[in-house]
Amino acid sequence: MERIPILRLRDCLLVTIQVDMHDQLALTLQDDLTELIVRHQARGVLIDISALEIVDSFIGRMLSNIAAMARILDAVTVVVGMRPAVAITLVELGLEMPGVRTALNVDAGMRLIERALEEERQAGHGRSKG
Amino acid sequence: MVVLKAESLTIATQEDVVRVRQTTRAWAAEIGFSLVNQTKLVTAASELARNTMLYGGGGTVLLESINDSIRAGLRMTFEDEGPGIADIETALTDGYTTGGGLGLGLSGSKRLVDEFNIWSEPGRGTRITILRWR
């Protein structure tokens, strides 16, 4: 079955979406990520959508779902690399992605994840890893 | 108004929805739409093609490159012979859905184009025409 590859970097999962996904492929990615967060005890999920030419309501919902599921599994999700034309279109479409944090690029996204996890540690939340 | 070029595509599967997006992108670029307007058109086409597949049980889309002597545009007509929409006004409301989606397909795509026309009759099907000028 066709799949979007998911890379593991320390306690983060990285996904770069490089194809025009049909709906089932997007749903498979959602399931795979949820599965891998648990299997690798990941604390961060970084999704690079810089290659995506559009984000419609289906893909938007997938990103929201991933962020919500990751949150329940104690991981932070950051979506990076959204193209300006995509951002403009999303606003006009009326799509909101609650719970989805965004950053301009992978570097900024990784920093955002690290900062979020650091804040949690200081506040005494989140799981501690030995 | 002159139709310079026309092509009809079948919408039956998820892969067909992807093909509609790619064809729309190619046509919009050829007509000379800006990148932002190409993106808006492709997004609207994606929403409507998915609706045709999911709610209409499949159908067709007709792409037409048009010209009215002042400006160029792209017109797309999505047609299915599915169950139709009983209450179009409600269906055009943000957040209204019968299929577990976000309810932005119709209302959202309407905002992304210049002209939006919908015809539907319960038991006979749905036809939606969108047009965006360059």
Q: Given phi > 0 = left and psi -120 to 50 = alpha, else beta, which region is A22?
A: beta
Q: Which residues of B touch A86 (CB under 8 A)?
A: 39
Angle at A58 (CA atoms; ends A52, A60), nearest 5 degrees: 60
Rg of the Cα atoms in chain A: 14
Given a cut of 60, whether residue B34 has pLDDT beyond it is yes
The secondary structure of residue B74, as a DSSP letter, is: E
Distance, in Å, from the CA atom of B109 to the CA atom of B111, rounded to the nearest integer, reads: 5
Residue ranges of B 3-32 with Cβ closer than 8 A to chain A? 14-15, 17-18, 21-22, 25
Distance, in Å, from the CA atom of A127 to the CA atom of B94, rounded to the nearest integer, reads: 39
B43 touches chain A (CB under 8 A): yes
pLDDT tens-digit map of A89-106: 999 999 888 889 999 999
Helices (H), chain B: 14-31, 35-54, 88-91, 105-111
Strand partners, A7: A14
Assembly ipTM: 0.90
Per the model's pLDDT, the better-predicted residue between A125 and A93 turns out to be A93
B54 touches chain A (CB under 8 A): no
Q: Which residues of A touch B110 (CB under 8 A)?
A: none
When CB atoms are compared, the residue of A24, A61, A89 closest to B102 is: A61
Average pLDDT, chain A: 92
When CB atoms are compared, the residue of A24, A53, A92 closest to B25 is: A53
Distance, in Å, from the CA atom of B60 to the CA atom of B79, rounded to the nearest integer, reads: 5
The token pair at B134 is 């360059």
Correct CATH for B2-133 of 3.60.40.10, 3.40.50.970, 3.30.565.10, 3.40.50.10860: 3.30.565.10
Least confident range of A34-48, A78-92, B30-44, B95-109: B95-109
Q: Do B105 and A63 contact (CB within 8 A), yes or no? A: no
Q: State whether A22 and B108 contact (CB < 8 Å).
A: no
Average pLDDT, chain B: 94
pLDDT tens-digit map of B66-103: 999 899 999 999 999 999 998 888 888 888 887 767 77
B38 touches chain A (CB under 8 A): yes
Given a cut of 50, whether residue A32 has pLDDT beyond it is yes
Q: State whether A94 and B112 contact (CB < 8 Å).
A: no
Q: Which domains does chain A have, with CATH numbers?
A: 6-123 (3.30.750.24)
Q: Do B88 and B120 contact (CB within 8 A), yes or no? A: yes
The secondary structure of residue B58, as a DSSP letter, is: S
| Average pLDDT of the segment spanning A108-119 | 93
Residue A130 — very low, low, confident or very high, per pLDDT cuts 50/70/90? very low
Q: What is the 3-state secondary structure (H, E, C) of chain A?
A: CCCCCEEEECCEEEEECCCCCCHHHHHHHHHHHHHHHHHHCCCEEEEECCCCCCCCHHHHHHHHHHHHHHHHCCCEEEEECCCHHHHHHHHHHCCCCCCCEEECCHHHHHHHHHHHHHHHHHHCCCCCCC
The secondary structure of residue B34, as a DSSP letter, is: -
Distance, in Å, from the CA atom of A115 to the CA atom of A103, rounded to the nearest integer, reads: 13
| Average pLDDT of the segment spanning A34-58 | 96
Closest-CA residue of chain B to A85 = B36
Q: How far off is chain B from A90, nearest CA to CA, in Å?
A: 9
B42 touches chain A (CB under 8 A): yes
